[in-house]
Amino acid sequence: MSLIRKISRLSARHLACHWIPLQQERGVISFSFDDVPASACHQGAALLEQYQARGTFYVCGGLTDGIEQSQPCHSVQDLQRLACNGHEIACHTYAHRNCADTAIPVLQTDWERNQAFFKTHQLPSTGFAFPFGAYGLLSKIAASRRFAYSRITGGGLQTGRADLAALRAQALYANTMTTEQIAALIRRADQQRGWLIFYSHEVSAQPGPWGTSPQQLETALRLASESRCRLLTVQKAIHYFQHGDEGD
């Protein structure tokens, strides 16, 4: 990473923050999927629904009907069915861009293209996740002007307060995350009334390095639903932390 990018990244972490307090009665656990392989729309959503949970799906319109990391991606019909069933659809850029590397005018055009894609297909969408979790100060500010919130990666959970311009999320990857680690994070979210946002990609019995398995996802859902935490989409979690209810 170049020095300028390092400085931009470091300053982005501490500047242009939009804090909300995490001080409701219960903690929250959110499940999200980036790029949105077809398996996340099918097996992933079905498992969530078995536990009365709904997920947040960060979509690149440029990946629709395509292949990403050897995984078949979502179709428009998949996304419309998810939205109908109460899941959240959100933006992940149109072309899966690294926002730390992209000039802001190019990024604005890309975001507009993805928003037009959502509009064409009647998909409500207000949130955003940075591809690769990559952002700088300028892209953080630009995203926070356009979207209701932005999610990054970074690992772990947030307690006490959360930055709506850079919500921290934890990878749920079958090859690197143990059940004990998942259980410990859920316990912390519960005890400290914090917010744990999981993210993954495909849901497959033999996932690649960035995917989860049905067994792992089900274990995380079971542990989450056995805790006192609420299971909410990212959008509804923000409403809960701000107002004490989930909104519409």
**Residue numbers of the site for Zn ion (CB under 5 A)?**
34-35, 131
Tally Cβ neighbours within 10 Å of residue 240: 20
**Among 122, 150, 190, CA closest to 56:** 150
80: Cβ contacts below 8 Å, ≥ 6 apart: 121, 122, 123
Q: Which C-beta is closer to Zn ion: that of 60 or that of 189? A: 60
Q: Which C-beta is closer to Zn ion: that of 61 or that of 131? A: 131
**In the bound complex, which residue of the shown chain has the CB atom lying closest to Zn ion?**
34
Burial class (CB in 10 A: 0-12, 13-18, 19+), 205: exposed
In the bound complex, what is the minimum distance in angstroms from residue 169's beta carbon to Zn ion? 12
Q: Which C-beta is closer to Zn ion: that of 27 or that of 133? A: 133
In the bound complex, what is the minimum distance in angstroms from residue 57's beta carbon to Zn ion? 11
Q: Which C-beta is closer to Zn ion: that of 32 or that of 43? A: 32
In the bound complex, what is the minimum distance in angstroms from residue 96's beta carbon to Zn ion? 6
In the bound complex, what is the minimum distance in angstroms from residue 34's beta carbon to Zn ion? 4
**Three-class secondary structure assignment of 166-203:** CEEEEECCCCCCCHHHHHHHHHHHHHCCCEEEEEECCE
In the bound complex, what is the minimum distance in angstroms from residue 35's beta carbon to Zn ion? 4
Q: Which C-beta is closer to Zn ion: that of 210 or that of 240? A: 210
Q: Which C-beta is closer to Zn ion: that of 94 or that of 241? A: 94
In the bound complex, what is the minimum distance in angstroms from residue 131's beta carbon to Zn ion? 4
